[in-house]
Chain A
């Protein structure tokens, strides 16, 4: 089996993509209820406001950021002849995603711990 950067990026992209689709469904379920009156909305919102969901939120952030930068990387590969730099490009996308996840995740964590 090939565990190359290409494969890892592919796998992570898939996982994050599918995770995002699931989140999207959830998100629509919550926000969509806004027109069904405050009770429904608040009930649904509360269901996704538990601390465990805050952790999920970090994962969500990681997924979005990784998926987005991997997507940018792919678009670059499509439109410029840069296959020679394939490893560096992956590391770069991954690093940026990691930094942004930490930058966004730490405040979420602190927010969660505070209240």
Chain B
């Protein structure tokens, strides 16, 4: 942040932009007492991603550098980590755009979760909260031969939540989670919104009851970090706000849902 004041001489290769220095927080609880930072120098081209850099380090320099990854194009949610102080997916982030004035990038594991090794964190509470909100849809008993009819608008309304890849960037950016792991968390509340808002779901009331508690939507203090952190540009805060409002008129919402479900098997009328 104050780099422009403390600007020092930058190494030639880094000035030319074909080398970068990657600072990684290392921690192996088997041998280390506490986390420490380690620097690696990696080659860089304009299309090198942060994940590429980590891979280069792992395969050429130090195989014990540990991180999760799989798809490498921002869809599997494995590689969320804390890059230069904010959470992001390593795989979709260009290295050259993440460097400071010294050609350095700082990578740490996701905050607020216990570290297993280096950049790998223990996500037990993350998944426990996911389970708590019952992420599965429960369709009505009367299942048609073909599809339930949903309007393109109804589908569109779910897109904010449907593309969540459960990477946990939001969860680990929220200071409330830092204080209290019993808080359901933005990821699970977003998922809960997805199910609650889906016209095909038949237990919206029960869902609202689950999130309508001290550790549900009311624990969110509207910090907005979850929006800033989300690599898929989703908006958990808005979902939480919506859930809060729905929770206050739960009975009416349940009735509306029952009403909507009566026409689930009929074509949406066109304007």
Contact = CB atoms under 8 A, between A and B. Distances in A.
> Is there any pair of Cβ atoms, one from A and one from B, under 8 angstroms apart in the complex?
yes
Interface in A2-18: 2-7, 9-10
A88 interface: no
Nearest to A89: B224
Contacts of A39: none
Contacts of B241: 77-78, 81, 83
B228 interface: yes
Contact of A7 (B225, B235, B244): B225
A81 B222 contact: no
Interface string B222-254: 111101110000010110010010000000000
B224 A4 contact: yes
Contacts of A78: 222, 241, 244
B148 to A, nearest CB: 27
B111 A6 contact: no
Interface residues of A, number: 15
A2 B227 contact: no
A6 B223 CA distance: 4
A44 to B, nearest CB: 35
A57 to B, nearest CB: 28
A25 interface: no
Contact of B173 (A2, A77, A81): A2
A22 interface: no
Contacts, number: 46
A5 B227 CA distance: 12
B237 to A, nearest CB: 5
B86 interface: yes
Contacts of B86: 2
B175 interface: yes
A4 B222 contact: no
Contacts of A86: 224, 227
B85 interface: yes
Interface in A40-75: 74
Nearest to A87: B224
B225 A83 contact: no
Nearest to A81: B238
Contacts of A110: none
B187 to A, nearest CB: 16
A9 B235 CA distance: 19
Given A2-B173, A2-B225, A83 B85 contact: no
7 contacts: A2-B85, A2-B86, A6-B223, A77-B222, A83-B238, A86-B224, A86-B227
